[in-house]
Homo-oligomer: A and B are copies of this chain.
Amino acid sequence: MMSIFEELESEVRSYSRGWPVVFDRAQGSYLYDEDGKAYLDFFAGAGALNYGHNNPALKRALIDYIARDGVTHALDMFTVAKRDFLQTFQEKILQPRDLDYKVVFPGPGGANAVEAALKLARKVTGKESVINFTNAFHGMTLGALSVTGNSMKRGGAGVPLVHATPMPYDNYFDGSIPDFLYFEKLLEDSGSGLNEPAAVIVEGVQGEGGINAARIEWLKALDDLCKKHGILLILDDVQMGCGRTGPFFSFEDAGIKPDIVCLSKSIGGYGIPMALTLIRPDLDVWEPGEHNGTFRGISPAFVTATEALRVYWSDDELEKSTKAKGERIAAAFQGIVEAYPDANLFAKGRGLARGIEFANGDLAGKVCAAAFERGLLMETSGPDGEVMKVLPPLTLTDDELTKGLSIIDEAVAAVLN
């Protein structure tokens, strides 16, 4: 029953290679294949399903909206659904955090949010060059790809990727080199040959890059550096925003206010495409229609997005629970690390973005395969796939967490013993 995929779908497909079953239904932390087998999902749509699959509260709002023939597709027209979303976003997210942003609806996905951010930063500053970081991941469209690190994905561009210079992300040299030593020297030396950058683009925690969590003080220092040199700071919170690390934004604990913030994945709440680019009001120099697109006003996503904000971001319960569960995973992973002292494992992450770095991608891949056999979905990340990564729904129960950790224990044991 999988022959149609092999026959018709391009070889570019990837997740289906590690999980060769056909999924049918999903609820909460579980996916079910067409034979009814349940899989505990510690991948959660690569961070797009922070509130779990088919979250009942959001599902109710969604079905109601569809049933009453609410507008589905509205480009950038004014709609009741968009108004509700904007009001709720302002009330639940921006105002309580004392953040002052205007909202761009840049298109349906995270890459659109990044493309809009880069375009605006360049337009505002009149400069072309952007600083990205080692092992960054920002998307697959040409602009987003040019600031992405992975060499295989870059190779897919088919044109030289220019206008970006990579700088070492936090801890790239294991703390042996002062932060930003190289970056700052190049900026200050008028003979360095570094093109003066319009912007820096950074993730609070690098998910695809290997669950690398930048320290709070590193983010703060980056913000200072940008301010000092008149460089715009773009925070790509596509994967790590919407509570993945605990607070709504991954950068909140650093106390910084980036000039531009990219959101997507879980902002829609239910897995329907939606993206936002938040911009400092004084940067709002677009001409009407200068950036546009067909899928900027998908009302069903606005409806579930709004409901998610109301349900989960009216108080700090989700943030606290995310941090607490994150600590449980951290402790469990540290236990694994210590249980295999010769394996050179390393526990990483923040909030509910966690990982264990293995000696190589082969080992990490085998652990994920062993977990899949035991009914747990998780993926690798990092330049060589050497990091076993978990991104469970923030809404998973303690029991589900216990069960997942226990499968991980078994899977690691099966591979390393």
Q: Chain B contacts of A168 at CB under 8 A?
A: 182, 185
Docked CA distance A63–B67 (Å):
8
Contact between B16 and A76, CB atoms less than 8 A apart: yes
Q: Choose the segment among A193-201, A306-314, A329-337, A348-356 that binds chain B (4+ C-beta atoms closer than 8 Å).
A: A193-201
In this complex, which of A108, A143, A165, A384 has the most chain B Cβ atoms within 10 angstroms of its Cβ?
Answer: A108
Determine whether the beta carbon of A149 is less than 8 Å from that of B9.
no
A156-B123, A181-B173 known; A24-B271 Cβ under 8 A: no
* Shortest Cβ distance from residue A68 to the other chain B in the assembled complex, whole angstroms: 7
Binds B, one of A113-121, A241-249, A319-327, A399-407: A113-121
Q: How far is the CA of A168 from the CA of B383 in the complex (A)?
A: 24
In the complex, what distance in Å separates the CA atom of A294 from the CA atom of B264? 9
A residues 148-195 with Cβ under 8 Å of B? 148-166, 168, 172-173, 177, 181-182, 185-186, 189-195
Is A360's CB within 8 Å of the partner chain B? no
Cα distance A22–B71 in the bound complex, in angstroms: 11
Whether the pair A8, B186 counts as a contact (CB closer than 8 A) is: no
Q: Which of A66, A143, A165 has the most CB of B within 10 A?
A: A143
Interface string of A1-35 (1 = CB under 8 A from B): 11011001111111111011111111100010010
Q: Does A328 contact B (CB under 8 A)?
A: no
In the complex, the count of this chain's copies comes to 4
Contact of B146 with A142 in the complex, beta carbons under 8 Å? yes
Cβ 8 A contact of A289, one of B14, B69, B209, B382: B14
Question: Please, which residues of chain B bring their CB within 8 A of the CB of A265?
Answer: 294
Q: Are A286 and B21 within 8 A (Cβ)?
A: no
Are A189 and B27 touching (Cβ within 8 A)? no
User: Given A25-B70, A115-B142, is A155 in contact with B290 using a C-beta cutoff of 8 Å?
Assistant: yes
Whether A186 and B162, one on each chain, are in contact in the complex, defined by CB atoms closer than 8 angstroms, is no
Question: A279: CB under 8 A from chain B?
Answer: yes
Q: How many residues of chain A are within 8 Å of chain B by beta carbon?
A: 152
- Which of B10, B62, B154, B166 sits near A284, CB closer than 8 Å? B10
Q: Is B140's CB under 8 angstroms from A4's CB?
A: no
Residue of B nearest to A146 (CB): B142
Answer yes or no: A38 CB below 8 A from chain B CBs.
Answer: no
In whole angstroms, how far apart are the Cα atoms of A115 and B12 in the complex?
14
Least distance between A299 CB and chain B CB atoms (Å)? 9
Interface presence of A375 (CB below 8 A): no
In the bound complex, how far is the Cα of B213 from the Cα of A321, in angstroms?
Answer: 57
- State the Cβ distance, A211 to closest chain B Cβ, in Å: 13
A104 lies within 8 A of chain B by Cβ: yes
Q: Counting CB contacts under 8 A, is A397 at the interface?
A: no
9 CB < 8 A contacts A-B: A4-B83, A23-B77, A25-B70, A63-B66, A122-B157, A134-B185, A151-B192, A153-B292, A272-B272
